[in-house]
Structure 1
């Protein structure tokens, strides 16, 4: 089955409306991060304060989203995401109002954190829905799940293209506050639509038949995956901050969002192509290979001295980002108990936010002190750390994947044996009821 055919079959299970809503629903998160950075940095004339506010939003989201994901694992996503969408939209609007009113730096950081706490992580939550959506596919489910996670990784990156681009355009045409208010309205509309879509009924223990949560969620392996996502989050935060500092120094601060959006173009293309990778190219090896790619492709950032050069380097860097994240998220889905996948996915998304906070905060202070080049040092350092982590995790992850595969095979064999026995009993009962 070709990748195109696989994607057609996958999207045929949900219809185009769900695909559109699930994509648009994740844009406010990508818009709110850079929107908060630009809004607060412009109002306070400090990249450090802007980075702190954007980082507070990301960290609070990293705390709030897993809590919401855990509740959604129990009761389903519909009510949880609906509440998040409404309160998150109100929080973003409040941040704009406080900034316009000249509130103190601490108040702006706190308001950003409150908004971030409630913004739903639509991408990770959409990943949770794909397993029940594809369950009728039988033997093709594995292939469809691979395509689903490839698509979701590409969709996340596309959101990071379009979100900052929208912010950049709105900042140029209106203002940073207008950009963040637009994100608020989009969250209210599309976040609520994602919450109310019929696929939300497929989540929660009652819908999945997993009445009790079994198995450990927090393991060393999950901890390693969280670190892996944190490092790529640091890449996002530091690149965004370094880009903002460089474009400001060049006299074109309004193009910061547009330049950062370039990062997602190559990432989207590479993410969609990930479904074509052979199964023998194991997930643990993919993480290592693509982490090494991040190091190689980020190192030229240390030598950029113009917007044009930055665009070229950021474009190439994107080709390693989505495949790396797709591999990490897929490992997360395979290595945690089925009844805890919602929390695991949002934890991974939250770890990205924590990394973004660290990256933007450290890079913001570095940029204030030594310019944009110092911010990009943070980027390269994060990618090197990702490689070291991937090297350390090769054997443990491989053993865990083999154990999970064996367990799934044993469960399938037991289910098949039970079905055969039931069919045999039914046949014997039918024979016994026939007249001699």
Structure 2
């Protein structure tokens, strides 16, 4: 069997933008946790640390789709040239404010500016793959590969931050994030050969990717998936601690991430004849089942098979969702569409983090795991509604060809 991942990485220019995107995305993930570590260690307030971190996450979620829309109207290099400078300046200002004891409002403001000048790098990378491999069966493998990269970053980012802040300095994690931001975004901006072209201005109009068939429903699905996954993370830690085996939480969550990465690689290597929305609707009930296994686990040992099932379904569900965006969102709004579903996932993760702790405090770890199951069930329902909506839709490529031929 041919190796599709070897083929996509042999595409001219692909290794360069993959590496640049990895570094830039790593900076984004390191920022949230690094901010909590730094602010809490300097001020002694976890409440302020959470507020400052939330300011970054909120403005990123709101502004990054707008930046992606600007990318579709102009080009990646031009937008990245501005965001790299603005983001680096706001990050440096934040570090200076912390170092010199700036007021709380300045930390919140500068953190918000950092989030508001951070583009959705994953969307830019996926748009490059779509540009290079549009119409090729290898595009499916490329989108799967990017989901696996996301999993690697999800594991590597917190580890890097934890090592730096505990072994070097509380500020070290955010200093490295600043370096990764400048290096990754600059490298991506300079790679013009793989950059998607700007579609003729007449196609843009005043519309938005939100008008693409099924996209709002797909965004809701990603919010629910992100919320469920985030609650599972905290719920597992609380559950294992309650049972006197807190150290097992790392193994459980590591197995979940490993299962997701393996499933993503397997899923991307296979050719699929069914449309992505049908695969999404078929995968999410299994995702719900894996989540509910956590909720009914009588002990820590039962968390391990639950982690395997949940991990094996998470990446395929996300890959199918991104494939649906590529299939149904018009090409002149593709980067915006990718950013909307990416930030929807991030909103879900933030929502899960914000609610899981309260549920644990009020009703215990099992209640939090049940709460995750409710969100997973909501994801399965919205995934089904998305599939039903897209069943009647015309793929963007066919729509454009029909418009061209009259």
TM-score exceeds 0.5: yes
Does structure 1 residue 188 correspond to structure 2 residue 182?
yes
List alignment gaps of at least 5 residues for structure 2.
none
Partner of 1:171: 165
Q: Compared with structure 1, are the counterparts of its residues 112 and 238 closer, same or farther at alpha carbon in structure 2 (3 Å cutoff)?
A: farther
Per-residue CA distance 1:262-282 (angstroms, 9 max, x = gap): 543222221122224443333
Partner of 1:134: 133
**Higher radius of gyration, 1 or 2:** 1
Give distance in 2, aligned partners of 1:103 and 1:310: 44
Partner of 2:8: 10
Q: Compared with structure 1, are the counterparts of its residues 218 and 33 closer, same or farther at alpha carbon in structure 2 (3 Å cutoff)?
A: same
CA contact (8 A) 1:168 1:254 kept: no
Give distance in 2, aligned partners of 1:305 and 1:113: 42
Q: Compared with structure 1, are the counterparts of its residues 146 and 309 closer, same or farther at alpha carbon in structure 2 (3 Å cutoff)?
A: same
Indicate the SS of the match to 1:14: coil
- Once the two structures are TM-superposed, the CA of residue 233 in structure 1 deviates from its matched residue by 2.3
CA contact (8 A) 1:52 1:357 kept: no
List alignment gaps of at least 5 residues for structure 1.
136-140, 416-436
Indicate the SS of the match to 2:171: helix
Partner of 1:359: 352
Give distance in 2, aligned partners of 1:349 and 1:131: 16
Partner of 1:34: 33
| Number of matched pairs | 403
CA contact (8 A) 1:41 1:49 kept: yes
- Once the two structures are TM-superposed, the CA of residue 236 in structure 1 deviates from its matched residue by 4.3
Q: Compared with structure 1, are the counterparts of its residues 52 and 357 closer, same or farther at alpha carbon in structure 2 (3 Å cutoff)?
A: farther
Q: Compared with structure 1, are the counterparts of its residues 211 and 156 closer, same or farther at alpha carbon in structure 2 (3 Å cutoff)?
A: farther
- Once the two structures are TM-superposed, the CA of residue 134 in structure 1 deviates from its matched residue by 2.7
CA contact (8 A) 1:267 1:321 kept: yes
Of stretches 381-390 and 141-150 in structure 1, the one that deviates more from structure 2 is: 141-150
Does structure 1 residue 161 correspond to structure 2 residue 155?
yes
CA contact (8 A) 2:148 2:264 kept: yes
More helix by share: 1
- Once the two structures are TM-superposed, the CA of residue 177 in structure 1 deviates from its matched residue by 2.9
Q: Compared with structure 1, are the counterparts of its residues 170 and 11 closer, same or farther at alpha carbon in structure 2 (3 Å cutoff)?
A: same
Q: Compared with structure 1, are the counterparts of its residues 3 and 32 closer, same or farther at alpha carbon in structure 2 (3 Å cutoff)?
A: farther
CA contact (8 A) 1:161 1:262 kept: no
